[in-house]
Amino acid sequence: MMSLEVYTTSEALSFKLEEWRQAGMKIGLVPTMGALHEGHLSLIETMSVRADKIIVSLFVNPTQFAEGEDFDAYPRSTDDDLRKLRSTKAGIVFMPDASEIYGDAITASLKAGNLAEGLESETRPHFFSGVVTVVHKLFKLCQPDAAIFGEKDYQQLLVIKKMVSDHDMRIEILQGTTLRETDGLAMSSRNAYLNDSQRKTAINLNKIMRDFCNDYHSARELNRLPSLEGEAIRKLQEVGFTKIDYLTVRDADTLQTPNTETKNLRLLAAVRLGEIRLIDNCAI
């Protein structure tokens, strides 16, 4: 276990970073919006294999929420987060306020590239420009050698990898596997919104997606992919999801619709239970 230092300004942080650099330390960044769960802690653990020193950022980024989304309601549990972080290998927690990141104007100034088109952007068109703006800024302030993002937000992971290569940032992007509850539900800070009955329904998302993946190759051979997709959507509706934003198979690298040659496939889905939106994905 390491002692955890809390920084709220980039100026104070920069002195510490300088000290680490002078000592030849490799720095890893784990960006989060707080409300930490086991999934976040596993990202820190994975990062500890690559980095000598780990910074965890806690910042609920306003520009990735649209008007009417859950920015105000987003779970905030700083004391609990700090308590959890004290038992990890994180050395620093960076908790900037919005002015530290954005100055006077809280706007998303960067555009996300092609990988941001479709899927999440269909319902959250503002989302990826907010994400790349804040992640770019966090990279500038924390100067990491490596950063890690969870596979649960698969499109986000690819969008950030692309941003890093487009901006020639020398930062290795690590991919953290999705941690699941014992019943298969992907861990997410937003699971805190689910009431008992919604929580029971939510389990079915991963079950239906796993069945889909198991049947995918035989359905492809039999030319019955459209009906496999239709059946999965019908099952999601039957178990009580109120809206299916998407359930679709994509090329895992480009997020384009696959063709017969595509080897690396990913099933991605976003569904709703009333106001609550759940996303998940799995390799096929």
Catalog residues that contact ligand PAF under the rule CB under 6 A.
31-33, 61, 64, 131, 134-135, 153, 156
Q: Which is nearer to ligand PAF, 189 or 204 (CB)?
A: 189
User: Which residues, other chains included, contact 161 with Cβ-Cβ below 8 Å and sequence gap of 6+?
Assistant: 173
Q: Which is nearer to ligand PAF, 18 or 80 (CB)?
A: 80
Return the closest-CA partner of residue 93 out of 167, 164, 171, 3. Answer: 3
Cα separations in angstroms, 213 against 144, 152, 284: 36, 16, 5
Min dist. Cβ of residue 157 to ligand PAF (A): 9
d(CA 96, CA 78): 12
Q: Which is nearer to ligand PAF, 6 or 222 (CB)?
A: 6
Q: Which is nearer to ligand PAF, 32 or 191 (CB)?
A: 32
Min dist. Cβ of residue 63 to ligand PAF (A): 9
- 40 labelled catalytic: yes
Q: Which is nearer to ligand PAF, 33 or 219 (CB)?
A: 33
In DSSP notation, 107-140 reads ---SPP-GGGSSTHHHH-TTHHHHHHHHHHHHHH
Min dist. Cβ of residue 228 to ligand PAF (A): 30
Catalytic residue among 40, 126, 136, 167: 40
Sign of CA dihedral 17, 170, 51, 62: positive
Run of H or E residues at 44: helix 38-50
Sign of CA dihedral 77, 34, 73, 8: positive
Angle at 91 between CA 32 and CA 155, to 5 degrees: 25
Min dist. Cβ of residue 134 to ligand PAF (A): 5
Min dist. Cβ of residue 230 to ligand PAF (A): 31
Query: Hey, which residues are catalytic here?
Result: 40
